[in-house]
Amino acid sequence: MMKRLFQPGQIGTMELRNRIVMPALGLNFVTDNQINDTMVDFYTERAVGGVALVYISSLVEHTGEEGYEKLASLGKMGYMPSLGEDRFIPGWRRLAEACHRHGARLGAQLVHVGKYAHSSVLGGAQPVSPSPIKANMTTCGQPGEMPRELTLPEIQRIVENIANTVQRAREAGLDTIEYNLCSGYLMREFLSPITNQRTDEYGGSLENRMRFVLEILRRTREKVGPDFPLTARLSADEFLPGGHTLKETRIIAQELEKAGLNGFSVVGGGHETSVPLSPMSVPRGAFVYLAQEIKKAVKVPVIASARINDPFLA
């Protein structure tokens, strides 16, 4: 089993020296959305250690929602790196070059936190979501607020912004990006029947709930072409009453593959799930079965994740 772990892998056009992938983490190392020395040093050590592919969480900013400051979707939350403007490109290029020098690939996980934002970091603006379903928590330690429903023009601006963000990632020398379709953030909110109760073309049926994410993927392909690897971090089962299940997620994965996605990293649950996901009390490899089921449904590479911290298990 160890022998297979260290065999080369490939996601789309991206060749990997082995099959070890480091998922995106919220490290809070930055203060102004800029890649800094601390981040470069931290991820360089992971590259030196032999990881084949490193993902880093990156804010989706300046989405154009009505009432938001130009700083945008997370306003003053500067502790996550951003690709929301061209001025962030040099820092990402520096980090990509550092990883490449030691044989690792670099990807940015694109995150729009949706209802998990808070007015205190949005310049007083209300958080947004597919539907006005109150959040039970936020990403900034504040109590959850009632989000407002995104308008159709706002949805289209978010689609365009995310595609532009991926274009910047490519210009910065990154090897791939990862759409965050897990944890309960905005792109996942559109997929979930719990948080998406719209009655227009973006809500209701699974086909409609997938529309937002598929539009993002297709618009991104128009921007970056067919060769830049696009991946997704996908929650295969919400583990919540009324939420989407593995049965629906198989269909979602197949449709994303048809639209040009090159690979998946599979997890389960989200921030509000009642099922513990990552504490040490959770058995190692507890959610590998979700990745196995998604792999049966698609032909592109699938990465198993969560509580895989033993090379013999991997």
DSSP string, 146-165: PPEEPPHHHHHHHHHHHHHH
Cβ atoms of 108 and 102 closer than 8 Å:
no
Q: In the chain, what is the straight-line distance between the N-terminal and C-terminal CA atoms, in Å?
A: 8
Residue ranges in the chain modelled with pLDDT below 70:
1, 61-78, 139-141, 274-277
Q: Which position among 79, 185, 202, 289 bears the catalytic label?
A: 185
Is the distance from CB of 35 to CB of 94 less than 8 angstroms?
yes
Residue-wise pLDDT tens digits, 26-73: 888 887 889 999 999 999 999 999 999 999 988 775 455 544 444 344
pLDDT of amino acid 248: 96
Q: Cα–chain-centroid distance for residue 228?
A: 16
Strand partners, 233: 180, 265
How many residues in total does the chain contain? 314
Whether 55 is a known active-site residue: answer: no
Contacts of 234 (CB under 8 A, 6+ apart): 181, 182, 249, 252, 253, 264, 265, 266, 267, 294
Task: Write out pLDDT tens, residues 171-214.
Answer: 999 999 999 999 888 999 999 999 999 999 999 999 999 999 99
What integer pLDDT is reported at residue 125 of this predicted model? 80
Alpha-carbon Rg for the chain in angstroms:
18
> In this structure, which CATH number among 3.40.640.10, 3.40.50.1000, 3.40.50.1360, 3.20.20.70 belongs to the domain 2-7+21-304?
3.20.20.70
Q: Quote the pTM value.
A: 0.93
pLDDT recorded at residue 71? 39
- For residue 225, count other CB atoms closer than 10 A to its CB: 10
> Amino acid identity, residue 50?
G
CA 45 to chain CA centroid, nearest Å? 23
Could you give the CA distance from residue 24 to residue 58 in angstroms, rounded to a whole number?
9
173 neighbors 95 (Cβ within 8 angstroms): no
